[in-house]
Chain A
């Protein structure tokens, strides 16, 4: 599938590392999202970007820093993470924030 892509697919990092997750959508959408999915927990919305502007930030710790340079790309910059931040990080996009969201394959993150 080429609709929404994410890299890397897997990431192992230490608590002092800095890394970035990348999401790219090829659907011409104008809204993009970051979700965190932990084992046996519901999807947790982290950030919403609409027309390249952040419109939601659901009380996410500052060690997660999003960036949306254009409507096709979304980044999640990570620094000084904690082991409890280990999870699947999913990116999604939609045409309008009230419309169907299409998900990327996710980045499985392990923080040691």
Chain B
């Protein structure tokens, strides 16, 4: 089955700086890679996703890059703000499986 690894487990940045979270996956059949944000006491919510037919996708301050050859994908947050503080989860899935495989999460703290 798929194995998704996520790094770092914790990340602290100064407000205004950039944050990068990286995930690797093992199953070359994986073709869909969403990122979820979970604020304290709230449900995980999709913030951005990418499919394997593109290498990069951007939505305002958030971007995701995908390297299919190396089997890794990354979340980039620019101009971080205190409200970006949360736990971020990556995930991978394929149309040949029956589930998502989630990373272990990254706790991001943006220091004002």
Interface size class of A (residues with CB under 8 A): 20 to 34
Q: How far is the CA of A56 from the CA of B97 in the complex (A)?
A: 10
Residues of B within 8 A of A56 (CB): 98-99
Q: Which of B42, B49, B100, B105 has the most A CB atoms < 10 Å from its CB? A: B100
Within 8 A of B (CB), among A13-63: 33, 42-43, 45, 48, 50, 55-56
Q: How far is the CA of A101 from the CA of B95 in the complex (A)?
A: 14
Question: Which residue in B34, B44, B98 is a CB contact (below 8 Å) of A43?
Answer: B44
Q: What's the count of A-B pairs with C-beta under 8 Å?
A: 49
Q: A43-B105, A100-B34 are in contact. List 10 more A-B contacts (CB 8 A).
A: A42-B89, A42-B105, A90-B44, A97-B98, A97-B99, A100-B46, A101-B100, A102-B46, A103-B44, A105-B43
Residues of chain A at the chain B interface (Cβ within 8 Å): 33, 42-43, 45, 48, 50, 55-56, 90, 96-106
Residues of chain B at the chain A interface (Cβ within 8 Å): 31-32, 34, 36, 42-46, 49, 89, 93-95, 97-100, 102-105
